[in-house]
Structure 1
Amino acid sequence: MQRALLLTTAAAVVLPLPSHARTPDAAADPLDEVVVTATRLPAIVQDTPGARVVDRATIDRRGAVFAADILADVPGLSVVRSGAFGGVAQVRMRGAGPGKTLVLVDGVPVNDPAEVNGAFDFGGFDLADIERIEVLSGPQSSLWGSDAIGGVIAFTTRETDGVAADLEAGSFDTRRGRLAVGTADVDRAVGAWLSHVVSEGISAADARDGGAERDGLRSTTAGIKGRYAFSPSISVDGSLRWTDAEVDLDGYPAPAFVLADTPDTQTSEQWSGFGRLHLSALGLDHRFSLSVHDLTRETVSDFPSVFDASRQAWRWQATGTARGVDFVLGAEREDAEGRLSTGLTGELGTTSAFATARVEPVARLSLTGALRHDATDDFGAKTTGRLSAAFDAGAGVTLSAAWGTGFKAPSISQAVCDFCFAPQPWPTLVPETAEGLEAAIGWRSADRRLEGRATLYRLKVEDQISYVAGRYVNIAETATDGVELEGRARLGGGFDLTAAYAWTDARDETTGARLLRVPEHAASATLGWSGERLSAAVTVRAESDQDDSDGFAAVVRDGFVTASLAGSYVLTEQVTLTARIENLTDEAYQQVFGYGEPGRSAYVGLRLRY
């Protein structure tokens, strides 16, 4: 089974060659495939509907500093950002609410249990230590349980061999630095890193005119990562990541209660990490792990708040092959707790069992199935599943399809009815559920210079929890129909082009209204060029109008087109000069109504490797 061998090899090396960094003879290399590993069983991206991988080379070429800078380029993802420098940034995947995307860092769930919807804030998430980003769109609860109802975004941190340093400075008194040291070989690796970003920023409420005060960001991230193989059958690995951030915010002060310059600030500190034992026994590859995440955030404003949250997950997973079937099975126990600003506290716990299997019943056809049972402590049990198929039709054409279900237990805020003012008894909440169906056709030329994929999907969420008349209720039903197009071309002469487009029809089935903050049309394209020493890339991104809210009433946020330019020049084998220009055309635009984005800005830096 050549594909089984391919996936085993790719999983072993962990980091496949980036698709845009292939050598001229890469088409002859059968291992030159992009592989996604957040699927439990490693899978080729072309065979996996809704799967995308953003590697480190793409992050560097794009000049992306924060996660929100590059996630907006992924088709089907809309980034909701209230403030450019560290402002709250959340992702809606295929129209699903922000709390319906599970975020993993080195396999550790880092969604905020104390946030109203249990969503993750991407605003200050620094990409300096990130090696790759994997995106799985559509219900993935059969793989990862609650919170993966709309999809998964998985970050993997970098492994350093030697010394690396990055320095950058530019507009808005922005300064950024990273230092990493480590050693790595086949059997062992250990490394540590420290990164820091500081910027005076812009006024979120009055970006174009400067505002009375600027909303800045100060963020520090540090981490350690290591692995050690005692023998071919026993090894350990783990990582620990810490972030401390302070962000200036604008708010809605009395008596007008409209967005305006305010001295509001938010501070946050979070830890995440895991420890894992790998053990080969009884014909299976076993992994025993413990992951932890702890978060404290405090807002100083006219409406101050303090939130504390923590999450622990114990997991056993076993991988093997029997009678031509690759499979994974395992069990998990996850506990989360949160202390809310009103003084209320809550806990959520889930015990789970899961299994995933892949088989090739006939030549060129791959079938994958996943089944998971989650028993929550307070909201009953739910079984979810996913089926997918991929068929190599020949002539470079791959046909694939998937169907899956998902669920999301109420968040701690919803469970304890935080800020509920309606008379009791309050309605008994039940988990939200989802069903997704998608089909894709992909094509790749024989020399692999051209490739593309078109995906058609439908995502439906039922029993969605909404805040109505002073309490939380299961009322809304939402549906999203969409088309995602993506392609890549090596044009010759050092040029290459990647492009993506998404049409998203996301609506509330209860009222017929379009869902807020989900543009119907979104597209991005990056044209890159690489020479012997110089390389550059220009990225253009566009979004159509979207329905939005000013906090009190429905409004429309105008569409926009913006562009950025990033480049690098290799001075020596150890030193590379970098530069980037954001918002090339000085477009006045907003990602969220009322919150202006920066005008034209420029940054220069050095990348050092020893």
Structure 2
Amino acid sequence: MRYTLPVAVFTAAFPISVQAQGVEDFFLGRLILAAGLSPAPEAAVPRAVTVVTGEDIRTRGIDQVAEALRFVPGVAISRDSGPGGMTQLRLRGTESRHTQIIIDGVRVEAAQDGYADLGGLQTADIEQIEVIRGPQSAFFGSNSIGGVVSITTRRADEPGVSGQTALEAGSDGSVGLNFQVGVRDERGGLTLSGIARNQGGWDISDTPGGERDGLRNRTLSLSGDWQVTENWRAGFLLRARNQNYDFDQFVFGAPTVDEIIADAPFTGRVQERIGSVFAEGDLVDGRLQLSLRASRFTFDRQTFDAFPSDTSTDRNEFAIRGVWALDGATVSRSRHTLGFGVDRISEGFVNNDADLVFDPAQLERQSRRVTGAALEYRGNLAEGLDVQAGVRRDVNNAFRDATTWSVGLSYAIPETGTRLRFSGGTAVQNPTLFAQFGFANNFEGNPNLLPERSRGWDIGVDQQILGGQGTVSLTLFDNRISDLISSAATETGTTPVNIEGTSRHRGAELALDAQATETLRLRAAYTYTDARNPDGERLLRRPRHEGTLGVDWQATEATNLSLDMRRVVNNLDNEFSTFVGVPVRLPDYTVFNLSANHRINDRLTLTARVANLTNRRYQEVLGYAAKPRTVYVGLSTRF
């Protein structure tokens, strides 16, 4: 079976423009779906972009999206729970709420707290992950100060019926099963995917004799597309995820650091639902491409601990996007295009359980809406010289309106295999609904919060090596955020406030991906991050240095081995043994992962992997033990 990106679906409305092909085939690369208001070839995207393919994920034995993102430059992941609990992504030193997460065109960060639940997001049905770094609000609105992560799931692309299944078991008691089955003809297709995974986990409190904190995940997805007429295509997506996970108790004022996390039988429950319909068309003899999409996202979370909670958030979105060829050609052959988009988003948040609130008024549903309009110009100004510029206006009913902009420029030099790029712009982050209206133990929302604002830039170079068999990339970045939302003490606890001054996030990213020989592929990434608040103090959980190395070896025609190393140096977190958080440096660490795949025949493949090969004891968040050595074996089949 062959699964590919649903490129046919996207290019039905947004074909690849030849403006990106001014230098024939040079750095043409893959199609970047989140390039702006419409997809674009990698060569035409003047921004720092990293793509993790489904093939990479499966070759390296990566089972969760968060684990795949750890090897992307500019990304810092922290997990303060077992395999299914809170897992936060910080892009270029910004907050986790500053990165927008998209699955098949639908935003999935919860309006309650502003970040997506990466804790149990599995990779089994994923075909591609795009990470676009830097301010992106001109194209994507709020929640994109740090950038955007766009995830595309697998779709059947071969005529007829096809599919695949995989089964895996782990030394921690884990058992996982996933499947995809699809049908396609010349007019369209359907794909059904399912994931069932019980993960034994580990004791995050690291208490002798403590119970393991595990995960139970069930994910089901159904998608389809249909060529309604010669010029119009329509489709849909339905996706559901149910998840149960375990976690332990955080103890404020614990006498020692080792006792900050206490073993406890606490559990959490997540229900996530995604629904989307779209139509895409080719109008005016190909000079206009138009896309319409309506989507709904809901996220329900319950926690059963010392301070239980039961909340629900939802987001409804309707969007129209299009591309117009400015030079009279078709969009697919135009050197100058104008993209446009209009969207309307409504978000809601509610506390569900009357027994868990202090005042009946806290059960009222809180909601807000925003209407946005955006323009984007893309042009090939000269041979190898591409430009992208965009502007967006957001009209809010709950706080002040915002205008954001973005500009990018890239220049390719085919004689030397070099591409120079620059991008800069502004971004906005609306306060989360919980920050505005929520409550918790000793916490009070603040409906008068202002949106956070940022202005950032990056400059980089991509250099081909080994005769075009590899690429080295270097990027320098700087992002400054004002009206940053933080916590302030009150008589009864804390409340969110906008802090005065500007926080600064700057650093450097280095990446290597090279096919060194016919059988050996080398991968490397390094990120230097210096993120500070307006007082000049370093922000927590942003390692100063983080680097990765990877080797893929095609040992035989049927056998592949992969080894990955990740090194983290100079990471800070708060120590709460005296009730007041005091920044402390966490121990540096190095982690190795090993995976192997052996193709038994054209249909069967045997897999094996070892996470944390050397059984390194380390912490990403103070007090929380990270994953110990775990061995997995599996078998996959295709038909």
- Specify if TM > 0.5: yes
Q: Which residue is equivalent to 1:35? A: 31
Q: Which residue is equivalent to 2:11? A: 12
Q: How many Å separate the matches in 2 of 1:202 and 1:130?
A: 26
Q: Which residue is equivalent to 1:371? A: 391
Q: How many Å separate the matches in 1 of 2:507 and 2:231?
A: 45
Q: Which residue is equivalent to 1:270? A: 272
Query: Residue 45 of structure 1: which of 42, 47, 52 is its match?
Result: 42
Partner deviation per Cα, 1:481-502 (whole Å, 9 max, x = no partner)? 1100001121114001011100
Query: Residue 474 of structure 1: which of 478, 481, 498 is its match?
Result: 498
Contact kept in structure 1, 2:173 and 2:200, CA below 8 Å: yes
Instruction: Give how far 1:210 is off.
Output: 5.2
1:440 aligns with 2:460: yes
Query: Residue 114 of structure 1: which of 109, 112, 115 is its match?
Result: 112
**Which ranges of 4 or more aligned residues in structure 1 deviate by more than 6 Å?**
13-16, 28-32, 420-424
Contact kept in structure 2, 1:253 and 1:262, CA below 8 Å: no
1:455 aligns with 2:475: yes
Q: How many Å separate the matches in 1 of 2:224 and 2:208?
A: 45
Contact kept in structure 1, 2:12 and 2:281, CA below 8 Å: no
1:589 aligns with 2:618: yes
Q: Which residue is equivalent to 1:233? A: 231
Q: How many Å separate the matches in 2 of 1:434 and 1:255?
A: 36
TM-score by length of 2: 0.88
Letter in 2 for 1:65: D
Q: How many Å separate the matches in 2 of 1:258 and 1:581?
A: 29
Of stretches 295-304 and 446-455 in structure 1, the one that deviates more from structure 2 is 446-455
Letter in 2 for 1:133: I
Instruction: Give how far 1:36 is off.
Output: 1.3
> Does the residue aligned with 1:263 lie in a helix, a strand or coil?
strand
CA RMSD after TM alignment? 2.4
* Structure 2 unaligned residues grouped into runs of 5+: 1-6, 16-23, 328-334
Instruction: Give how far 1:373 is off.
Output: 0.6
Of stretches 324-333 and 547-556 in structure 1, the one that deviates more from structure 2 is 547-556
Q: Which residue is equivalent to 1:518? A: 542
1:87-236 equivalence runs, <5 A:
87-115=85-113, 118-160=114-156, 161=158, 162-206=162-206, 211-236=209-234
1:485 aligns with 2:510: yes
1:327 aligns with 2:338: yes
Letter in 2 for 1:294: T
* Structure 1 unaligned residues grouped into runs of 5+: 1-7, 17-27
Instruction: Give how far 1:15 is off.
Output: 14
Contact kept in structure 2, 1:580 and 1:603, CA below 8 Å: yes
Contact kept in structure 2, 1:159 and 1:184, CA below 8 Å: no
Contact kept in structure 1, 2:528 and 2:544, CA below 8 Å: yes
Q: Which residue is equivalent to 1:357? A: 377
Partner deviation per Cα, 1:313-357 (whole Å, 9 max, x = no partner)? 000111231113123211000000011464353212100101111
Instruction: Give how far 1:173 is off.
Output: 0.2
Contact kept in structure 2, 1:271 and 1:294, CA below 8 Å: yes
Query: Residue 293 of structure 2: which of 285, 289, 299 is its match?
Result: 289
Q: How many Å separate the matches in 2 of 1:50 and 1:149?
A: 14
Of stretches 454-463 and 410-419 in structure 1, the one that deviates more from structure 2 is 410-419
Q: How many Å separate the matches in 1 of 2:76 and 2:47?
A: 18
Contact kept in structure 2, 1:249 and 1:265, CA below 8 Å: yes
Instruction: Give how far 1:29 is off.
Output: 6.8
Partner deviation per Cα, 1:546-605 (whole Å, 9 max, x = no partner)? 110245422222111010111101111011111101111111111211111122211110
Letter in 2 for 1:490: Q
Q: How many Å separate the matches in 2 of 1:589 and 1:483?
A: 25
Q: How many Å separate the matches in 2 of 1:422 and 1:169?
A: 42
Change in 2 beyond 3 A, CA 1:316/1:10: closer
Contact kept in structure 2, 1:455 and 1:485, CA below 8 Å: yes
Contact kept in structure 1, 2:548 and 2:566, CA below 8 Å: yes
Of stretches 245-254 and 133-142 in structure 1, the one that deviates more from structure 2 is 245-254
Partner deviation per Cα, 1:204-242 (whole Å, 9 max, x = no partner)? 111xx6542111110100010110002220110111110
Query: Residue 346 of structure 1: which of 366, 382, 389 is its match?
Result: 366
Instruction: Give how far 1:185 is off.
Output: 4.3
Contact kept in structure 1, 2:611 and 2:631, CA below 8 Å: yes
Q: How many Å separate the matches in 2 of 1:321 and 1:98?
A: 37
Q: Which residue is equivalent to 2:401? A: 381
Letter in 2 for 1:586: N
Change in 2 beyond 3 A, CA 1:171/1:492: same
**How many percent of aligned residue pairs carry the same amino acid?**
28
Contact kept in structure 2, 1:205 and 1:211, CA below 8 Å: no
Instruction: Give how far 1:45 is off.
Output: 3.4
Change in 2 beyond 3 A, CA 1:367/1:10: farther
Q: Which residue is equivalent to 2:63? A: 65
Of stretches 382-391 and 324-333 in structure 1, the one that deviates more from structure 2 is 324-333
Q: How many Å separate the matches in 2 of 1:482 and 1:277?
A: 41
Instruction: Give how far 1:514 is off.
Output: 0.5
Contact kept in structure 1, 2:14 and 2:39, CA below 8 Å: no
Q: What is the aligned length?
A: 587
Instruction: Give how far 1:608 is off.
Output: 0.6
> Does the residue aligned with 1:96 lie in a helix, a strand or coil?
coil
Q: How many Å separate the matches in 2 of 1:15 and 1:385?
A: 22
Q: How many Å separate the matches in 2 of 1:317 and 1:350?
A: 17
Instruction: Give how far 1:170 is off.
Output: 1.2
Q: How many Å separate the matches in 1 of 2:120 and 2:529?
A: 27
Letter in 1 for 2:473: R
Change in 2 beyond 3 A, CA 1:31/1:98: closer
Instruction: Give how far 1:84 is off.
Output: 3.6
TM-score by length of 1: 0.92
> Does the residue aligned with 1:249 lie in a helix, a strand or coil?
strand
Query: Residue 405 of structure 1: which of 418, 426, 451 is its match?
Result: 426
Change in 2 beyond 3 A, CA 1:281/1:44: closer
Q: How many Å separate the matches in 1 of 2:228 and 2:367?
A: 38
Contact kept in structure 2, 1:49 and 1:400, CA below 8 Å: yes
Instruction: Give how far 1:504 is off.
Output: 0.5
Of stretches 38-47 and 146-155 in structure 1, the one that deviates more from structure 2 is 38-47
Partner deviation per Cα, 1:339-393 (whole Å, 9 max, x = no partner)? 1464353212100101111111222111110111100111121110100000013
> Does the residue aligned with 2:248 lie in a helix, a strand or coil?
coil
1:529 aligns with 2:553: yes
Q: Which residue is equivalent to 2:595? A: 566
Letter in 2 for 1:262: A
1:465 aligns with 2:468: no
Q: How many Å separate the matches in 2 of 1:60 and 1:190?
A: 23
Q: How many Å separate the matches in 2 of 1:10 and 1:437?
A: 32
Instruction: Give how far 1:446 is off.
Output: 7.2
Instruction: Give how far 1:439 is off.
Output: 0.2
Change in 2 beyond 3 A, CA 1:576/1:84: same
Contact kept in structure 2, 1:327 and 1:355, CA below 8 Å: yes
Contact kept in structure 2, 1:41 and 1:356, CA below 8 Å: no
Contact kept in structure 2, 1:36 and 1:52, CA below 8 Å: no
